[in-house]
């Protein structure tokens, strides 16, 4: 009997054809992007008789934690299209892992015009919940529906009527490996609160090793951060570092299921096993040992970190050079990484992220960004930067300084390292009240739009178009026909978006400055 059915928001059950940054496409509005196009670019992961072969890493952690108490045949990670195969009278809980259930994430709020349009993340989540409820009503089943995962925080911002309409029984927010078994047992047997915020965190010993393969072959090497950025939720969590033994085990699980490219997840890879919380100087030896260990695992062909900060690279460029050697970076193997640029304003950076530049000074932030990008590019690393629009206390001058920084990057970097090696993207995100800024309001792209902000959006997309033209075909890992199709769609689509931004600005009376 299947007692616990685990599944995920359908937009999390795709590897987006392994095209860099294409997963952001899940934030696109369904009213503007045809469903056939979305389905083509975001095909589902494979399944084995309805059991997902790959699943989001967080869901794999919950699966492993539950198996400490439940039997293997009582817990299944179901493909979202085939959950009906596993739900019966014996089912007690159907749990859904989600990233952006209500379309309130920073990228989504920007793409969906402040939530006025319906992103695919929200559309597919609502469709999945509706289907689960249909099965429950149709067959008279008594199971409870639970929603958790990285996007569960969004339910803190909706009223009970929406939860009633969705017929979700419980929302669980926070890290849960240390309590999930007790929570599920209580939910099975007793009445529990509808909204549960978990305020404690599991120790390293309480975090289990995954037993099934993750999407993108993702493995986690640390949790928490410590840089003190006021807008960031992970910064509130105590930093914990995974030992190499656990990392090795999770790589083996992924490689066994055919995942030979490993995504190395952390909030900031250059804080791995950091020794000085005062300076935040990178622990070069530990970071090099980590990646050497990963690349030495049988079956691993490629690896790249998910997130990292710019300043440690400027502080210790030799560290990055050594990592590039280990990762076999080169003209045909660029290493992707997502750093937070956030703002080009020194004044705003001092207020909201004073330690972002450690072990250097935040007063040098724009120069750190320029130099850090040059060092990344010299060593064949491709930074995909994020910006935050609408930060509390952000002024029009702050935004123009960010626009000017992008202009500097486009102008100065080719002079430093050459046009062929200059690569980066900049993605503007909408401010979302998290971390120490939970009491603040969401950034509203309609009522809070200014000339500087519309220019920032335009400049960012203009550079994205440039990078798509130069790199999308080269970096897409598919057969020639598929590469050509995706590249053509990317080149055409990005230009349409750029044209739309310009027309949108003109309708609002804003001037785009060239």
Rounded Cα distance between 45 and 215, Å, is 8
For the stretch 286-322, pLDDT in tens is: 999 999 999 999 999 999 999 999 999 999 999 999 9
Q: Kindly indicate the confidence band of residue 235, based on its pLDDT and cuts at 50, 70 and 90.
A: low
Exposure string over 224-256, b if 16+ CB within 10 A, otherwise e: bbbbbbbbbbbbebebebbeeebbbebbebbbe
E strands, 255-389, in order: 261-265, 302-305, 335-337, 340-342, 381-389
Q: Which pLDDT belongs to residue 436?
A: 62
The pair of structure tokens assigned to 210 is 């995954």
DSSP 428-477: EEE----GGGTTSPPP-TTTT--HHHHHHHHHHHHHHHHHHHHHHHHH--
Beta strands 219-220; 240-241: pairing state: unpaired
C-alpha distances (whole Å) from 26 to each of 118, 205, 352, 406 are 11, 34, 29, 26
Answer yes or no: are the C-beta atoms of 195 and 147 closer than 8 Å: no
Give per-residue pLDDT as tens, 4-58: 999 999 999 999 998 877 898 899 999 999 999 999 999 999 999 999 999 999 9
**For the chain, domain boundaries:** 4-197, 218-443
Q: What architecture does CATH give domain 4-197? A: 3-Layer(aba) Sandwich (3.40)
Overall fold of domain 218-443: pyruvate-formate lyase- activating enzyme (3.80.30)
pLDDT score for 162: 82
**Rg of the chain, C-alpha, whole Å:** 22
Read out DSSP for 396-415?
HHHHHHHHHHHHHHHHHHHH
Taking residue 331's Cβ as centre, other Cβ atoms within 10 Å add up to: 9
For 315-350, write each residue's pLDDT tens digit.
999 999 999 999 999 999 999 999 999 999 999 999
Whole-model pTM? 0.94
Token representation of residue 337: 């990484």
């Amino acid at each position: 009997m299947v007692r616990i059915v685990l599944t995920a928001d359908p937009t999390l059950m795709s590897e987006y054809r392994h095209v860099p940054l294409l997963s952001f496409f899940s934030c696109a509005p369904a009213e503007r992007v045809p469903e056939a196009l979305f389905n083509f670019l975001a095909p589902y992961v494979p399944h084995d008789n309805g059991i997902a072969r790959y699943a989001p890493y967080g869901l794999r952690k919950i699966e492993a934690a539950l198996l400490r108490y439940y039997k293997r045949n009582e817990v299944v990670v179901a493909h979202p299209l085939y959950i009906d195969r596993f739900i019966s009278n014996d089912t007690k809980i159907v749990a859904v892992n989600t990233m952006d259930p209500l379309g309130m994430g920073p990228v989504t709020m920007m793409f969906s015009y402040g939530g006025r349009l319906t992103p695919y993340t929200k559309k597919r989540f609502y469709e999945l919940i509706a289907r689960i409820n249909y099965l429950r009503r149709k067959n008279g089943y008594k199971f409870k529906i639970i929603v958790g995962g990285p996007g569960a925080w969004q339910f803190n911002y909706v009223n009970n009527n929406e939860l009633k309409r969705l017929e979700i029984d419980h929302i669980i927010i926070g890290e849960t490996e240390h309590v999930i078994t007790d929570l599920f047992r209580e939910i099975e047997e007793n009445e529990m609160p509808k909204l549960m915020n978990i305020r404690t965190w599991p120790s390293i010993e309480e975090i289990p090793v995954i037993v099934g393969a993750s999407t993108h072959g993702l493995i986690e090497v640390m949790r928490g951060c410590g840089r003190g950025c006021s807008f960031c939720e992970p910064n509130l969590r105590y930093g914990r570092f995974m030992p190499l033994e656990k990392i090795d085990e999770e790589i083996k699980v992924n490689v066994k299921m055919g995942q030979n490219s490993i995504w190395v997840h952390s909030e900031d890879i250059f804080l791995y096993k950091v020794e000085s919380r005062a300076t935040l100087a990178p622990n070069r030896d530990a970071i090099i040992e980590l990646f050497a260990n990963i690349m030495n695992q049988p079956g691993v062909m490629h690896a790249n970190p998910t997130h990292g900060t710019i300043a440690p690279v400027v502080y210790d460029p030799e560290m990055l050079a050594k990592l590039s050697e280990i990762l076999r970076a080169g003209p045909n193997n660029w290493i992707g990484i997502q750093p937070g640029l956030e703002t080009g304003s020194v004044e705003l950076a001092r207020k909201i992220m004073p330690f972002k530049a450690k072990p250097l000074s935040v007063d040098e932030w724009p120069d750190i960004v320029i130099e850090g990008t040059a060092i990344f590019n010299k060593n064949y690393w491709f930074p995909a930067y994020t910006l935050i629009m609408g930060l509390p206390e952000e002024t029009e001058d702050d935004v123009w300084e960010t626009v000017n920084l992008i202009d500097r990057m486009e102008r100065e970097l080719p002079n430093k390292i050459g046009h062929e090696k200059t690569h980066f993207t900049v993605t503007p995100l909408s401010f979302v009240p998290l971390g120490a800024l939970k009491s603040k309001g969401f950034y509203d792209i309609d009522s809070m739009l200014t000339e500087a902000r519309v220019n920032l959006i335009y400049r960012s997309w203009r550079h994205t178009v440039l990078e798509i033209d130069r790199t999308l075909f080269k970096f897409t890992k598919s057969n020639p026909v598929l590469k050509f199709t995706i590249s053509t769609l990317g080149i055409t689509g990005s230009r349409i978006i750029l044209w739309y931004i310009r027309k949108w600005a003109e309708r609002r009376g804003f001037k785009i400055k060239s």
